[in-house]
Structure 1
Amino acid sequence: MAIGVAGLGVEAHAQSPNDGLPIPATPKDSLTAIQRAFMLPVPPSVALFPQMREQMKDAPAFLRDSKVDLNVRSYYRDNVETTPTKTTVNEAWAGGGAGSVSIETGRLFDRVSGGFTLYNSFPIYAPYQYGNTQLLLPDQQGYTVVGELYGRLRLTDDIHVTAGRTSWTTPFLNPHDNRMTPNTFYGYVLQGSFGDPDSGKPSMRFGGGYVAAIKPRDAVDFQSMAQAAGVNRPNGVGSAGGLLTWGPISVGAINYFSQDTINIAYGEGTYGAMLPFGLRAVLALQYADQRSTGANLLNGGNYWSTGQLGTRLQLGLQHTILTVGFSAVNPGFAMQTPWSSNPIYTDAQIQGFQRAGEQTVVLGLSSVLTSLGLPGVAASVFYYNGATNAPAAGRPLVESEWDFRLEWRPEWKPFQGLWLSARYGHSDTDQNNVRTTTDEVRLVLNYNVKLY
């Protein structure tokens, strides 16, 4: 069960398989990592008890303007990894208790609001010997944890400060919400905006703050950001960034700094255009730079640096999207993602394709099948292929992956907010004449609705 604020995520969707978002209908809907970071949350459209809002019209704003959302999740995951010498199985089916209820108060004195989230995951089918699914605790036990408990101060109509336990969505610090419960963070952040990005005129969204601790997806305890990255220090992360949008162009950048651990700088730009024959195109380019800081404790006291370049072209016709992408990692060191999902365009369901020196291509096709008489049904297939000869990656390596996805989001009003997702991924990794194969099945039911 979860009670809390709707986070800083958005209803718009992404192609990445590791963000827990539905398949987009057009390239414009397929937001990149930094675009999602600076979008405002969109509440569910269906209310179970709409009459309550009318009954509360004369109550103080702190209660009258409160928001209560219900989220129910059921998740089955079966992951089988096979090498020439052994087979490892991770399997569980988990439920989210009575659901996930998001509550955000109205503003007291038109300035102060707050929220609370209690997350819960319990086993439905969870053989002890098949643990480490990340749906439950590593030993297949359920858990309940206060994931969000925060206050928010509204400085102006467009600028606010949030402090406490909550959820932030940025490229390298985000919920990674593709299990039962998301990452949540403890810290404070200032966010704001100037202008309307839908007006076609220049607009700016920005944010910055300090994050001291993280509660990982399958844990009940918060730990320092440095500890989550692999350094036994209480250090947190300072971060700041912004996104400029001007018509079909968007350009954004964000930086993360953790003393003695890591600095991550991320930049991204996109350009959208209408082409002949009704085609829509969006070209995106991204680059992430990572390097050690201070005492270089993430690498045993030795300085290191690396980076990854990614590019993606999406062509859309009606509700079908063709995706072509490429990424390349610096050969000196593998990329690190200790606090987030992987924001690079070649991120797959199973593999991250972020090894030192790895060059990866991706080809995908996705479609929302409403025009075929299947309202709310969507499907996708993606193929990835990566290879590296970098000494830092060990012996020469080649890996590939196929990902298949089918989902249904009913358009009937009582069921808006419900989506069912079935996913299958198969990966092959060949290194030093040893082949490792991984097969993963994910079956997810998610229902998000507001109570009033």
Structure 2
Amino acid sequence: MNKSTLALAVAVGVLAQQAGAAGFIEDSKASVSSRTMYFNNDNRDGGADQKETAEGLKFDYLSGFTQGTVGFGIDAQALVGIHLDGGKGHHPYPSSFFPSDSDGSAASEWSRASANVKARFSKTEAHLGGALQPNMPILVANDSRLLPQTFEGGTISSKEIDNVTFNVGQLEHAAGRASSNSTGLAVAGGTEESNQFRYAGADWKVTKDLTLQYYHANLKDYYKQDFLGLVHVWPIGTNQSFKTDLRYFDSSSDGKNGDAGYQFNNNGGFAKTPGEVDNKTWSAMFTYTLGGNAFLLGHQRVNDDGGFVYLNQGSVVNDNRRSEEAGGASFYLFTDSMINGFVRAGENTTFGQYSYDFAALGVPGLKASAAYLYGDNIKAKNGTSPDQSEWERDLRVDYTIQQGVLKGFGTTLRHGTYRGSDTGIASQDQTRLIFNYTYSFL
């Protein structure tokens, strides 16, 4: 039993004695969420295609806090994935969409459950357990498939100072979006587990229109990372604004990084020192909003020394086999798009997006967007071949029913097209059709 699990068990025992306290039950919330997804990945370079449909169910219970100077509570989550249809030969092995059986076919179902204990003192909250879903510049839990990625560890968030939110924590394990089990932490290409991802940072709302951010993170034996961010919204007039979003990451090697098992594959691209983290990435995004219209334009630059780095457990060796089903990750850059990431050494990416909210035309709940990203100057893996380029086009339509028996029922249709020039990434056409519904009964 690891330290986090032992601490969780002790805390649950304490809570069991206080569960009747006012606030713990009265402020509780419980819900069941359903997600049905059709996932179609058409490999245009002749590789195996993927066509699968699955149903995901997520139960969430969020208690209130017990009374007293320090209030205690518990959050619990249970996840179930059910494979509906994949079509013979259309479930790739391995897959980060749905787990695979030993013969390489899709498993019929999978599940996992976890919980967090929590404590609140004044304007500070602490969470400890295995159902954490962080959303910060240095770590974004992935929820782009059937069921969400979750993390195990402890976090503290404090708002004791007006307009400033402090976040600190240590994470030790992650459960992938298509996995029943958790693994230690790593980066793409890293086969050894690290059980220590520490971070600290703050979001300072300088004015109602300006927010500054700083975070530091360290994945032991893999990398250190600093982040600086600025978000400013200029309210030009009624239903009109201009938003500036600036992001800068500085990542470097830590501990055993570069040794056998602790290597970083640099997103399949060039590295000045193979296997080691060495990267600086900046991006600037500008969004003009007018009524239901939003026009976004931006540029991103990855330096020449190596690719952008982020947590990804898909290469970890667990029980003598690779844990590909634990793979799949998100990161805090606009180029984290539907199919590709645009984060290899030397890459310059220009991107744009147009979106429209049909509430402006009297159709609330209906939204549509189209995005295009073009990256070039990508350094070839050998460092001497001609630079490479790639592009992606993403289309999306969302509709959520606003009233009636099916209020809150949402439908999302996404289609992405990716093409690359000698990038080593297969050209793909991908379609996702998703139905979401959440029923709250507390």
1:299 aligned onto 2:263: yes
Equivalent residue, structure 2, for 1:183: 149
Aligned partners of 2:210, 2:165: CA distance in 1, in Å?
14
1:314 aligned onto 2:287: yes
2:422 to 431, 439, 442: 431
Q: Which segments of 5 or more consecutive residues in structure 1 lack a partner in the other structure?
A: 1-57, 196-201
1:150 aligned onto 2:116: yes
Which stretch of structure 1 is more off in the superposition, 99-108 or 286-295? Answer: 99-108
Equivalent residue, structure 2, for 1:31: none
Q: Aligned AA for 1:401?
A: E
Equivalent residue, structure 2, for 1:448: 438
CA distance 1:175–1:70, change in 2 (3 Å): same
The alignment's C-alpha RMSD in Å is 2.4
1:357 aligned onto 2:346: yes
Structure 1 position 131, deviation (Å) = 2.2
Contact kept in structure 2, 1:120 and 1:142, CA below 8 Å: no
Contact kept in structure 1, 2:185 and 2:195, CA below 8 Å: yes
CA distance 1:382–1:393, change in 2 (3 Å): farther
Equivalent residue, structure 2, for 1:203: 163
- DSSP-derived class of the 1:415 partner: coil
Q: Which has the higher contact order (CA 8 A, sep 6+)?
A: 1
Aligned partners of 1:302, 1:72: CA distance in 2, in Å?
41
Contact kept in structure 2, 1:184 and 1:215, CA below 8 Å: yes
Q: Aligned AA for 1:314?
A: T
Deviations 1:30-56 (A, max 9, x none): xxxxxxxxxxxxxxxxxxxxxxxxxxx
Contact kept in structure 2, 1:187 and 1:211, CA below 8 Å: yes
1:265 to 191, 201, 226: 226
Q: Aligned AA for 1:357?
A: G
1:103 to 32, 38, 61: 61
Contact kept in structure 1, 2:369 and 2:395, CA below 8 Å: yes
CA distance 1:393–1:354, change in 2 (3 Å): farther
What percentage of residue pairs aligned between the two structures are identical?
A: 19
Q: Aligned AA for 1:439?
A: D
Equivalent residue, structure 1, for 2:38: 76
Equivalent residue, structure 2, for 1:369: 358
Deviations 1:238-260 (A, max 9, x none): 11111001221001121211221
Equivalent residue, structure 2, for 1:337: 310
Q: Which segments of 5 or more consecutive residues in structure 2 lack a partner in the other structure?
A: 1-19, 265-273, 313-328
Deviations 1:303-327 (A, max 9, x none): 4411211000000001210000110
Q: Aligned AA for 2:249?
A: A
Equivalent residue, structure 2, for 1:21: none
Equivalent residue, structure 2, for 1:323: 296
Aligned partners of 1:417, 1:337: CA distance in 2, in Å?
33
Equivalent residue, structure 1, for 2:199: 239
Equivalent residue, structure 2, for 1:159: 124
Q: TM-score, normalised by structure 2?
A: 0.81
Q: TM-score, normalised by structure 1?
A: 0.79
Structure 1 position 369, deviation (Å) = 0.8
- DSSP-derived class of the 2:360 partner: helix
